Structure 1
């Protein structure tokens, strides 16, 4: 079966939804948005606390990848949850809305990515955002109030989040009520991608027209064709020109052709995997798997970066915290009923309700550590069940120096790729994580939290004065893992190892772009969902308007 569209977008994650929705709204083109997973019409997706059921294991909404054994983590395999289905990882994440620092984007521009400085990308953050603090207005210089992506304060903040904020202030850290404001540093509540107590994923923002139960999935747009349950096997080339994709749905092969562009939005793992499976990537690696080389592009799959994270836990009896106990189960049942009535209460929690951006050393110019305070004992991505109640605090290094790669384990796109993040391959990352552990333990020791008592889980043996770095290092190697921010494997740039240029066109071929977090040259200092959506927004303008601008320039020069 063959079908022809103007644009074929592979992957309905955060960037793919934003791009496809904007393309459908701004013209009369036909757009095929192809997604291997299902629709997002499910109570676990709509309910913020439902992420706890989707995150820990593979299923209809989670690929649940594993890394290769990591020498820096004592040979352990890391866990890499990735969203599957409409909305991608925005359907299973903690909904935290942060953008990073302006300097992150200015560094992209300085490295040759023209058009990606902070001043260039801020309008796209604002265009995407409908922040409840400025809803209905676009007068705020940093926030948008009319965009499709709802951003709000938590409806029912957990009291322990406030205890954490107070304790951090007692430890000497400043209060910050807006991590996306003029300054990022400090401690405070996170804003989340929710609306009226429900998760507002990228599909809800850009595909459903605000109606989560719109079964057509295209928001009533005649030109937008959302094709779920369709696994793309490879990009189809004629010479070096991408003309479509070959996909399988319900056992039948489909050739979907693109009159204009094939656009990969399959994510940091999926996009490089599909490029390599289609013959674009490091030639020697492709030949190892018997793949005919279309274009030798050595940077594909390289430059993998991720936020490695260590969690400190505190066990204590407090029913307002998430946990497993008879009393806790009864309390949670009542909270479920409350959520059905009011869309409020514990079920509207994103778990990581409060947090901080801090400096590991006072002489640093900007924060290099991020904290996520979780109102439960989330251990090993909630794959390890622990009875009782408690709280925990994550700490990660915002700009890691360690680099890894994504490679093929098989040419079959139905098989997971080979993921090697190279965690702690640069020893400086471990030094910074040790500093982060000490900061969290100092916060835990402040009266606002210490008064509740409790016992630390993996860190109880550490010395209170922080003088046992060797023990802290071993705890990190034994327990650290991702905080779910992999980027960089289709790096944007102009050098020989760059995969896409600043217009997101794959170098060395035609008719092919990548639009997702894999194009980031370097990690931003924060959560990556908002930047991925920004990339989709900016890609729309590059695709829709850049050809017109170039034409006008050419006409002016000829005149």
Structure 2
């Protein structure tokens, strides 16, 4: 398939064609609104667009992906890979090959499963979602852990909540001796990446590729609005901008990377049609990556699952915490004993996949009043984000509750259901990512170990009690008919709540730290502060796997910032 592909329909009817054209027009109108907002904002601030002028270039003139050596070989086209491909190809003298296992749609032709902000995880469609499950611990079933398989990656299937990490998070990074990662040093890249239409000028960008819209109380659903107002009644602060580090402890509507109902993923925002027409950028989609090939300690190429090879002077792994980890392990970079058990020749003994971190998540489900039927969009739109009594200070926002409308309404006797999602943001419990076999088509073995740390469980118990307290506080109380899950059989004792949490805990879909950033002397570190793999040449990792600690909030905007920052550093080295 080409990098201009769309869903194929055999013998399409006129209705099919109209549906495709309506979809294309809808996305295009939304993208135009986004671009117009960026232009207007740039004019208001006196800033000119940084996008380079690009002449249209026939796709036939592009280098063949196979058999040529590119300056930059980027493996994985998700939240980080799309950013890297766009930024590194701004230098017309450098050739860039972006390889993605999933399809590559025209920016204006993503299917509804990917562009609709009211569809999460692509409805588990295997064409666009990897379909991974983690091993259960005390849960009765394996834990569904969706990941995007498309240009745009998981930014094309997520909840689109666009919150940044806190200054507190970056203090934890710099405390490990990593330079260049203070909040003051990353802020310019948060601003560079975004078009943010509200908030303070000194902390927000006005003409970046990635649109972030702050929702208002008038836009969110009655349930979401009621939860926010109940939070305020309980004494939590009113938050108008969760990305303002001076006032983000409390409750309010979310900032979202959504325009007119379209989830704007990095494949849309960064790999625009203009960018994809650059003569020095090639996108190879539907290409599953097997492993890296080394000569000594220098990476030479990447081997695809179909036996073809792709070559780069510099190779950047951006396949996500699961994909990057599996590729490294199949390549011989990982724990020596594990590789030996798989008969994989050792290239580098490294703690790859040994320190998985993920935000624990728990659904508390309710039946709502029947008159709320049809008032369930947006499905995600607000939160209370705060600190538990176990936090080291009020700056450590370690728990959150988020109301959502993702449940099948059939579970409710009223035909209307919603959830209060319990989110553990400060995480100590670590898991693992290992290989099941050497076959790249086999899913990795994922073990979260959520809430195995006693401190994690204590914080989550407190989060559970906060959610129930919210449900018993007006105005949210009047919208609830009954608690469906876990239900009244689970009382308010620590033991009862802990047992319910252990049996029902899942993932907030924020895996990270499987190839951690750190100093060479750090026994848990795989890469340095710029993503370069310790002890290997020509290889970088740029995705959530290199976070040395899990941020206390959603990962996606922070991954995009990281890619912007490291891309800038790479270009600086080449200058």
TM-score range (shorter-chain normalised) is 0.7 to 0.9
Who is 2:380 aligned against? 352
User: Does the alignment pair 1:6 with 2:71?
Assistant: yes
User: Does the alignment pair 1:292 with 2:345?
Assistant: yes
Who is 1:203 aligned against? 267
Distance 1:132 1:39 in 2: 29
Query: Quick check: 1:307–1:482 contact (8 Å CA) kept in 2?
Result: yes
Show CA shifts across 1:173-215 (max 9, x none).
Answer: 1111111112220000001111233111011111125xxxx8x
Who is 1:153 aligned against? 214
Query: Aligned with 1:355: secondary structure?
Result: strand
Distance 1:142 1:444 in 2: 34
> Between Structure 1 and Structure 2, how many residues are aligned?
498
Partner of residue 126 from structure 1, selected from 184, 191, 197: 191
User: Does the alignment pair 1:143 with 2:204?
Assistant: yes
Change (3 A) 1:453 1:51: closer
Query: Quick check: 1:314–1:377 contact (8 Å CA) kept in 2?
Result: no
Who is 1:315 aligned against? 367
Q: How much does 1:547 deviate?
A: 5.1
Who is 2:310 aligned against? 256
Who is 2:321 aligned against? 268
Distance 1:37 1:375 in 2: 28
Who is 1:484 aligned against? 509
User: Does the alignment pair 1:33 with 2:102?
Assistant: no
Q: How much does 1:451 deviate?
A: 1.7
Query: Quick check: 2:79–2:153 contact (8 Å CA) kept in 1?
Result: yes
Who is 2:113 aligned against? 44
User: Does the alignment pair 1:184 with 2:248?
Assistant: yes
Structure with bigger RCO (C-alpha 8 Å, 6+ apart) = 1
Q: TM-score, normalised by structure 1?
A: 0.85
Distance 2:144 2:484 in 1: 20
Q: How much does 1:262 deviate?
A: 0.6
Q: Unpaired segments of 5 or more residues in structure 2?
A: 1-65
Who is 2:285 aligned against? 228
User: Does the alignment pair 1:500 with 2:494?
Assistant: no
Query: Aligned with 1:226: secondary structure?
Result: strand
Query: Aligned with 1:434: secondary structure?
Result: helix
Query: Aligned with 2:307: secondary structure?
Result: strand
Who is 1:374 aligned against? 404
Q: Unpaired segments of 5 or more residues in structure 1?
A: 322-330, 332-344, 549-559
Show CA shifts across 1:487-538 (max 9, x none).
Answer: 1001000113310011211111100000000000001010111011111111
Change (3 A) 1:291 1:472: same
Distance 1:422 1:30 in 2: 42
User: Does the alignment pair 1:172 with 2:197?
Assistant: no
User: Does the alignment pair 1:521 with 2:548?
Assistant: yes
Query: Quick check: 1:158–1:375 contact (8 Å CA) kept in 2?
Result: no
Q: TM-score, normalised by structure 2?
A: 0.83
Query: Quick check: 1:371–1:393 contact (8 Å CA) kept in 2?
Result: yes
Who is 2:63 aligned against? none
Distance 1:17 1:220 in 2: 14
Query: Quick check: 1:458–1:475 contact (8 Å CA) kept in 2?
Result: no
User: Does the alignment pair 1:530 with 2:557?
Assistant: yes
Distance 2:369 2:282 in 1: 51
> 1:280-429 to 2 correspondence within 5 Å?
280-297=333-350, 299-318=351-370, 320-321=372-373, 349=378, 351-361=379-389, 364-365=392-393, 366=395, 367-377=397-407, 388-429=415-456
Query: Quick check: 1:3–1:255 contact (8 Å CA) kept in 2?
Result: no
User: Does the alignment pair 1:106 with 2:171?
Assistant: yes
Query: Aligned with 1:225: secondary structure?
Result: strand
| RMSD across aligned positions (CA) | 2.1
Query: Quick check: 1:158–1:320 contact (8 Å CA) kept in 2?
Result: no
Q: How much does 1:51 deviate?
A: 2.5
